Structures are given as structure tokens and as C-alpha cells.
Amino acid sequence: MLIFLQFGGLKGGLLDAKIRRNSTDKEDLFHAHIGGADTFARALIATEKYLKFILFRAERISI
């Protein structure tokens, strides 16, 4: 996620949905998309907290 943010995040998409399993049930696809979006959001939040912590430590050390 750090590298993803360094390159500016999503530029023009890159989030496509390909069926990679046998189930084409609408409910399964719905849950798969929600799960993927939730995982992405949680990783983004965790990365933001990490970056804030690193900046905080750098400021404390430089004082």
C-alpha cells in the first residue's frame, strides 16, 4: 500500500472485476466486491496511520 500511495493511488481505474471462480451467483459476487473494497479501505487506513506515526517519530528525533 505504501508503494501504491507513492505513485499517486488509482489513476484511471485499475479496479476491475473478473470472475475467477465458478460461482456467478449475484449474492456471491456482491459479497466478493464488498470484501475486496473493505480490505482495500482497511489497508489504506492502516497505511495512513503508519505514515503519520513515522512522521511523528521523525519530528521527535529531529528536535
pLDDT by residue for the chain (63 residues), tens only, comes to 888 888 877 776 656 556 666 667 888 888 888 888 898 899 999 998 998 888 877 777 775
pTM over the 0.85 mark: no
> Residue 60: its pLDDT value, please?
74
The Cα 44–Cα 4 span in angstroms is: 10
> Residue 9: its pLDDT value, please?
76
> Residue 16: its pLDDT value, please?
59
Domain ranges in the chain are 2-10+24-62
Residue 23 CB contacts under 8 Å (≥ 6 apart), including other chains: 29
> Residue 26: its pLDDT value, please?
85
Residue 29 CB contacts under 8 Å (≥ 6 apart), including other chains: 17, 19, 23
The Cα 16–Cα 28 span in angstroms is: 16
